[in-house]
Amino acid sequence: MASFALLKASSSKNVDPNAFRIFVGGLRKTTTEDRVHAHFAKYGEVQAVEIKRQPDGSSRGFAFVRYIDLDSVDKAMEAHSQHMIDNKWVDVKRHDSDANAAGPASFYKGNREKKKGEDEGGGDDGGLSEDRRMTRSGPSDKQSSYFLKAAQSMLEKSMADALGQQEALHG
C-alpha cells in the first residue's frame, strides 16, 4: 500500500514536490528524527524526516517532514495547535515555493497552476499583485492611523503657535 501511495505521489505532475513537505521549527537541540517521525506519523505515512544540522552535527532546531500524500499534509496543518514534541511546542508550516500559502493542500494544488501564469509577468516585484506589494512594503492601518494623528496634532500646535505670534505682533 505504501509503495502504491509513493508511486502515486511521485507520478503526480501537477503538484509541487515541496507540497508534500512541512517545516517544523522550534525543536529542542536534543530532539531526534525518530521523535519527530513518531509525532507526525499520527497524521499520515511519513516518507522522511530531515533535521537540519550544524557542521559539528548539532541540531539547528528545525526539520522537514515529507509525507507520501497531500491529505497527510492537510491533517498535520489542521492540527497546528497540537504539535508538542519533547514537551516543547513547535511551529509547523507548509514547505513550498509560496511561503504565504495557506489552506488545504488539495486547494493549494489547484491554485498553484492558476497563479503560475500570473507570476510569470516579470518585473522586480516577484510577480506580486498590487495589493500584496502594498501589504508587504507599506505600513499597517494601525501605524498609518497613528502617524496621521501625530501629524495632525503637530500641525494644530504649529498653527496655534503661529497665530499666537501673529497676535503678539499685531496685538
We report the CATH number of the domain holding residue 42 as 3.30.70.330
DSSP string, 154-170: HHHHHHHHHHHHHHHHH
Both 43 and 87 in a single domain?
Answer: yes
Contact predicate 61/90, CB 8 Å: no
Cell numbers found for residue 160: 496655534
pLDDT of residue 72: 96
Both 145 and 115 in a single domain?
Answer: no
Mean of the per-residue pLDDT values of the chain? 74
Both 57 and 98 in a single domain?
Answer: yes
pLDDT digits (tens, 9 = 90+) for 17-52: 889 999 999 999 999 999 999 999 999 999 999 999
Flag whether 150 is in a domain.
yes
Both 20 and 93 in a single domain?
Answer: yes
Q: Is the pLDDT of residue 128 over 70?
A: no
> Whole domain around residue 166: which residue ranges?
139-171
Max distance between CA atoms of the chain, in angstroms, equals 95
Phi, psi of 69 (to 5 degrees): -145, 160
Both 85 and 17 in a single domain?
Answer: yes
Flag whether 28 is in a domain.
yes
When divided into structural domains, the chain yields a total of 2
Cα separation of 154 and 22, whole Å?
49
Both 113 and 162 in a single domain?
Answer: no
Both 91 and 31 in a single domain?
Answer: yes
- With residue 33 as reference, give the H or E element that holds it: helix 33-40
Flag whether 128 is in a domain.
no
pLDDT of residue 62: 96
**Three-state DSSP class for residue 24:** strand
Both 151 and 79 in a single domain?
Answer: no
- Asked whether the whole model's pTM tops 0.85, one would answer no
Both 33 and 80 in a single domain?
Answer: yes
Closest residue by Cα to residue 97 from 156, 27, 18, 163: 18
